[in-house]
Structure 1
């Protein structure tokens, strides 16, 4: 093979090796988050309440699978694996672009869905306080609509304040539903443009993989004569 194709080969290998590590880390973190589930009676309930860790595990598995074909196809100079990697990467790129376009066109609907996340967390707070507490700590908010939502119980949970002693003087005033929606509204453009950049990188990887696969096929044809 030429020096240029050899360079492409090792660049693809290193790129997919890094992607494999990222995929493994996503799976590990997803499993760790999922293992923190408390009082789950069945799998259906687990799937419903642990969407984030499940998404991390699935995404990590997909990245690991695609990276496996990329690494093996490049280092073993396998035409079949390189083409499989190209197809899977192309499908992933198309799916990612579809998600970005969906977020672009259906932004208002997407923000409503984010508000529903807090609604569900608030509805389950009596037996699954972990989720509402996590939102209140990360968003620095209190209650679904405001801190007044806790007035009926006569005290505020520790996650509603920065200090250990949570009282009316130091409780977060902002409601979590609005805080959560504002957060995603503010960062939706960052996510969309980041998705486009990643898709562009994936497209370059797709072109490189196709070039490598084509060169491998031509090299084997020439060697057969």
Structure 2
């Protein structure tokens, strides 16, 4: 049962249907209708509080993840500031910061919606709706740009990987991590490593130091299916001892394969945003 005070506040928005001057039967019927509407109002308000509490926690998790990643990559990236891979390094360095900024924005918007619904503040809910509309517009714009410029993204991925490979003496840690995590080798294939002068020089030194034969197409140990010291120096590609597909190819294939999952996540996110907008508009329009 809706409280008498709240029902009276709601009636002020409906031409004072609560007036005792109306016939008792008509007045009781309208009170029941108003109680039904107030039930919807309360449901929308509680949904806003719950949804935004969850979203606020997600935003806080983004901030924490961004801080952890930023602290871990800073020591590596500070040694990679040179022209050949400056663009890739700048991107890797800014990605955790973007994650932190994104999480902060999500947290602030969610807190605005949660507090606005809990305190029944009309102006806070209006700001909240405006922010959600902007976020939804940005989500649609990013999705459209990704679809129309997917060829440029693929080319950029390949070019960035090539720059990392050609400067292996500075980027070895990053490339070894990528190759071991994605089970790949080189840019398009393992043969790309013969184009990396720093790597070929290091491979010859490693072969001489370990008294291992140097193969025709030596690769880093991170290319091996079963990693061991010197396994990539004298590998045999035909026996499956190394990963033959390049990293740019493997990563792009993974992204293309999961595009359906990303689309589903985007639709769910858009649906949640629309639900929040509708609930916020419903609550805001019924606040005196």
TM-score (norm 1): 0.84
Larger radius of gyration, structure 1 or 2? 2
- The match for 1:129 among 167, 172, 188 is 172
The corresponding residue for 1:5 is 41
Structure 2 alignment gaps of length 5 or more: 1-5, 7-37, 195-199, 205-217
Aligned equivalents of 1:147, 1:91: Cα separation in 2: 45
The corresponding residue for 1:175 is 246
Q: Which moved more, 1:143-152 or 1:96-105?
A: 143-152
- The match for 1:142 among 181, 185, 191 is 185
Aligned equivalents of 2:99, 2:129: Cα separation in 1: 23
- The match for 1:206 among 269, 273, 277 is 277
The corresponding residue for 2:78 is 40
CA separation of 1:140/1:192 partners in 2, compared to 1, >3 Å: closer, same or farther? same
Alignment of 1:51-130 (within 5 A): 51-130=94-173
Aligned equivalents of 1:6, 1:158: Cα separation in 2: 62
Aligned equivalents of 2:222, 2:100: Cα separation in 1: 27
Aligned equivalents of 1:211, 1:120: Cα separation in 2: 53
Deviations 1:8-37 (A, max 9, x none): 111111111111111111111111111112
Aligned equivalents of 1:124, 1:53: Cα separation in 2: 23
CA separation of 1:32/1:10 partners in 2, compared to 1, >3 Å: closer, same or farther? same
CA drift of 1:147 comes to 2.1
Instruction: Check conservation: 2:77, 2:93, Cα contact below 8 A.
Output: no
The corresponding residue for 2:28 is none
The corresponding residue for 1:161 is 224
Instruction: Check conservation: 1:143, 1:176, Cα contact below 8 A.
Output: yes
CA separation of 1:200/1:136 partners in 2, compared to 1, >3 Å: closer, same or farther? same
Structure 1 alignment gaps of length 5 or more: 221-225
1:188 equivalent to 2:188? Answer: no
- The match for 1:29 among 57, 62, 65 is 65
Deviations 1:166-205 (A, max 9, x none): 3325221111111122122222343234213311221121
Aligned equivalents of 1:53, 1:120: Cα separation in 2: 21
CA separation of 1:123/1:54 partners in 2, compared to 1, >3 Å: closer, same or farther? farther
CA separation of 1:135/1:23 partners in 2, compared to 1, >3 Å: closer, same or farther? same
CA separation of 1:111/1:92 partners in 2, compared to 1, >3 Å: closer, same or farther? same
Instruction: Check conservation: 1:111, 1:185, Cα contact below 8 A.
Output: no
